[in-house]
Structure 1
Amino acid sequence: MAAEAKKGNAVVETIKTVVWALAIAGIFRTLFFQPFWIPSGSMKSTLLIGDFLFVNKMAYGYSYASCPNIRMLGLDAKNICAVIDGENTRVMGSEPERGDVIVFRHPVTGLDYIKRVIGMPGDTVQVKQGVLHLNGKAVSQEPVEDFVEIAEAQGPQRLRPRCSNGPVGQGGDCAKDAAIETLPNGRSYTILNIGNQSSDNTPVYTVPQGHYFFMGDNRDNSTDSRVPQQAGGVGFVPYENLIGRADRIMFSSGGTSMLAFWTWRGDRFFKAVE
């Protein structure tokens, strides 16, 4: 009888430990840092498929989007954090800086996206012949050496890269035109171009107050604010949908799983996101 009681107590203690561990992990993920694994190539060459990073959730304060979706239970972040779901507001909120790389919640689908904030509230944004224009002025682009990667399936989704040097066979060099883009606040980063397409010429967008305009650095391979939400794009992103800022890559896996340590890229450990 005593042995059964001890066994029962051990089971209860194990359950308590698991519950507490999950609660602490949930609080840490909600308030401080959220893990994020890059699934697509929309932010190349700043972020590669398989980069693993932690998103700084303290950077812009907190909103309903700070809470995770628990899809297996059918719970949306708005259900979990309804108490702080205001009218496009944040608790302890602060504004992002133009050029920050941010994880945000898609205004329609609720999925997490990562892009660079380009347009601030009140800005006009337009792309003409592949050149970004902010408030009527062209943003500086300085051509640099091509970005080259291997033409092969990448990541768990087995995505093949698109190339500017035409169809490339398996294992060949897949190139993209590269340039350093410098925003009006002095923030610089590398953008990629594959070829002429519709997203290289857009209407003039005026960013509403309380919203932001996002673009991927891999300009011809990014679903972002250049496409309205009703057409399947991102459109303008409300302030409350910001989740956090991507500051640093922890490590990067070139294989199908982040656990495949033999595929980790040695030059990306603790690399700053610029």
Structure 2
Amino acid sequence: MKHRERWIPITLGLGALVLATGAWFAWPVARHAFDPGRQLRSLYIPSQSMQPTLQIGDRFSPRDIGPQGPARGEVIVYRLGEEMRVGRVIGLAGDSVALAGGIVSINGRPVPQKQIGTEIAGEPGVPARKLLEQFPGEAQPHAILDQRATPQDDFAAVVVPAGHLFVMGDNRDNSSDSRFPRDSFGVGMLPAKDALGRVDFISWSMERPGRFDRPIARIDK
């Protein structure tokens, strides 16, 4: 009987430790899940088009867009026909957007890029440059991948129509986005009404197991 009693505090202590560990892991996700405006649905990334910001299998719960609409540089989930996609807002209504040699120009001003490393993405074994860029009005820079020179590195200037957005993937050589018309499996000019939510944190990542609550704005160098 005494032997059994000695194990009671040890068992209780282990139980408390397990509960505390679970709470420590779950708290960041729960904290975001109940944010005002957080949508109570979990989505996942099925493709490589938003690497390095989002990896295949990353899960997220989007935040409502709100009456102001998305800002330039924000990552959004949007409706495209019967499917949903994720992309970064490059141009707002009235913006002139162009690309030359992979460098984005907004309203005639090129957005500077800075290389911070290399990363394997897209085609297996093919390295890509990991670059930082920061759009006008964006709070901090975001990372993109540039694998090689491709035809989509150049795009003649267009003005985003009223009520629309220009979106692109961060994996610039592996993304079907506003650079391509819908009849070529692209997006074209995205109606702003089809923006379904902001993607501002990752609740779970298969590529980064154990890393809960990873803000997508954080740059992993």
Task: Find the partner of 2:78 among 60, 85, 104.
Answer: 104
Give the structure 2 partner of residue 114 of structure 1: 86
Say if 1:223 and 1:233, in contact at 8 Å, map to a contact too.
yes
Task: Find the partner of 1:228 among 181, 197, 200.
Answer: 181
Name the aligned partner's letter for residue 204 of structure 2.
Answer: F
Say if 1:162 and 1:194, in contact at 8 Å, map to a contact too.
no
Name the aligned partner's letter for residue 103 of structure 1.
Answer: V
Task: Work out the CA distance in 1 between the residues paired with 2:39 and 2:51.
Answer: 26
For normalisation by structure 1, the TM-score amounts to: 0.62
- Aligned pairs for 1:91-240 within 5 A: 93-106=67-80, 109-148=81-120, 161-162=122-123, 168=125, 174-186=126-138, 187-240=140-193
The 1:143–1:191 alpha-carbon spacing in structure 2 relative to 1, beyond 3 Å, is same
1:109-153 CA-to-partner distances (Å, cap 9, x unmatched) read 23100000010000011110111011111001111111246xxxx
Task: Work out the CA distance in 2 between the residues paired with 1:33 and 1:189.
Answer: 26
**Is 1:270 aligned to residue 196 of structure 2?**
no
What is the CA-CA distance between 1:31 and the residue it aligns to? 8.1
Give the structure 1 partner of residue 24 of structure 2: none
The Cα RMSD (Å) is 1.8
Say if 2:53 and 2:143, in contact at 8 Å, map to a contact too.
yes
For normalisation by structure 2, the TM-score amounts to: 0.76
Name the aligned partner's letter for residue 96 of structure 1.
Answer: P
Q: Secondary structure at the match of 2:155?
A: coil
Unaligned runs of 5+ in 2: 1-36
Task: Work out the CA distance in 2 between the residues paired with 1:212 and 1:38.
Answer: 21
Task: Work out the CA distance in 2 between the residues paired with 1:32 and 1:144.
Answer: 34
Task: Work out the CA distance in 2 between the residues paired with 1:40 and 1:31.
Answer: 23
Task: Work out the CA distance in 2 between the residues paired with 1:193 and 1:230.
Answer: 25
Q: Secondary structure at the match of 1:183?
A: coil
Name the aligned partner's letter for residue 100 of structure 1.
Answer: E
Task: Find the partner of 1:45 among 37, 47, 52.
Answer: 52
Name the aligned partner's letter for residue 105 of structure 1.
Answer: R
Task: Work out the CA distance in 2 between the residues paired with 1:239 and 1:110.
Answer: 16
Corresponding pairs, count: 180
1:206-250 CA-to-partner distances (Å, cap 9, x unmatched) read 100010000000000000001112322101111110100011101
Task: Work out the CA distance in 2 between the residues paired with 1:103 and 1:206.
Answer: 22
